[in-house]
Structure 1
Amino acid sequence: MKAQVKWLGEELFMGTSASGHTMILDANAGNLAPSPLEAVLISLGGCSSVDVVSILQKSRQNITGCQVEINGTRVDGVPALFEKIHLHFIITGSDIAAKHVERAVSLSADKYCSVALMLNAKVDITHDFEIITQ
């Protein structure tokens, strides 16, 4: 897997994946685009959500939506690394069993999500969920 990041000027950078997709990053506290650390949170949420949806679908749960709210806390110092990250999954649908959601979220965090597994060495990652019945 390869990628490229190009400086666009000021504090803007454009990342391009090997598949040709682009993403703008703003090193200036995310004023014009996500900051690199905001992109890490988004990547973690995306990676985990892919797993959770896939596992729930394979478990034949009738899900119609999955959203994850991510809250990262950084250490007070330089570099300001993430100390803690909490993921709150909001699963919508009908006839969804909490045990299946708990299992999907745990499997993602502990076994499948590459981003979470990379961050686990340095960051305390927690998660919970709620189910909204439609």
Structure 2
Amino acid sequence: MEFKMKESGFYSEFAFGRLDVSGNEQHGFRPFQLMVSALAVCSGGVLRSVLEKMRIEVYDITIDADVRRNEQEANKIEAVHLHFRISGKDLIAEKIEKAMKLTEKNCPMVQSVKGSIQINETFEIIDNH
């Protein structure tokens, strides 16, 4: 990956398109937003894959991400809470719990920050029919 400087931040070109990154939201995605997005979407993708392998039919997954930052220490990310709202056919909480444990173990982004950022993952079943 190559990142090039622009007036306020940096940018990079990827196969999907241009990514603008800046500490100022007016000029691009903020770095912490990208970090939290990577954690949430990686976990969501792994969860979806695990549920498919378990032959659990899922209609939708929505992820709420809550981030805690420490202003006294360079505004670093200390904790991220990912809450998954899952709807599907005949969802059973115990099976979803098992899938969540597998997701945490198999998400590369979560494993990359393990020990540095506290990750808490919870879920709720929205639609059970």
Q: Is residue 2:116 matched to residue 1:119?
A: no
Q: 8 Å contact 1:86–1:125 — kept in the other structure?
A: yes
Unaligned residue ranges in structure 2 (runs of 5+)? none
For 2:55 and 2:16, the matched residues in 1 are separated by: 34
Q: Is residue 2:22 matched to residue 1:26?
A: yes
> Which of 35, 50, 63 is residue 55 of structure 1 equivalent to?
50
Number of positions where the alignment pairs a residue of Structure 1 with one of Structure 2:
128
Q: Is residue 2:40 matched to residue 1:45?
A: yes
How do 1:83-98 residues align onto structure 2 when only pairs under 5 Å count?
Answer: 83-98=78-93
Q: Is residue 2:20 matched to residue 1:15?
A: no
- Letter in structure 1 aligned against 2:120: T
For 1:88 and 1:118, the matched residues in 2 are separated by: 19
Question: What SS is found at the alignment partner of 1:55?
Answer: helix
Q: Deviations over 1:103-125 (max 9, x none)?
A: 2222121x211111111121111
For 2:13 and 2:94, the matched residues in 1 are separated by: 39
Q: How many Å apart are 1:12 and its aligned residue?
A: 3.4
For 2:55 and 2:17, the matched residues in 1 are separated by: 32
State the percentage of identical aligned residues. Answer: 24
> Which of 4, 7, 14 is residue 6 of structure 1 equivalent to?
4
Q: How many Å apart are 1:21 and its aligned residue?
A: 4.2
Unaligned residue ranges in structure 1 (runs of 5+)? none
Provide TM-score, normalisation by structure 1: 0.86
Q: How many Å apart are 1:32 and its aligned residue?
A: 4.0
Q: How many Å apart are 1:20 and its aligned residue?
A: 5.9
Pick closer, same or farther for the CA change 1:32–1:93 going to 2, 3 Å: farther
Q: 8 Å contact 1:61–1:97 — kept in the other structure?
A: no
> Which of 115, 126, 129 is residue 132 of structure 1 equivalent to?
126
Q: Deviations over 1:20-78 (max 9, x none)?
A: 643222211x2343201100000111100110000001111110111111111011224
For 2:72 and 2:34, the matched residues in 1 are separated by: 20
Provide TM-score, normalisation by structure 2: 0.89
Q: CA RMSD of the aligned region, Å?
A: 1.7
Question: What SS is found at the alignment partner of 2:19?
Answer: strand
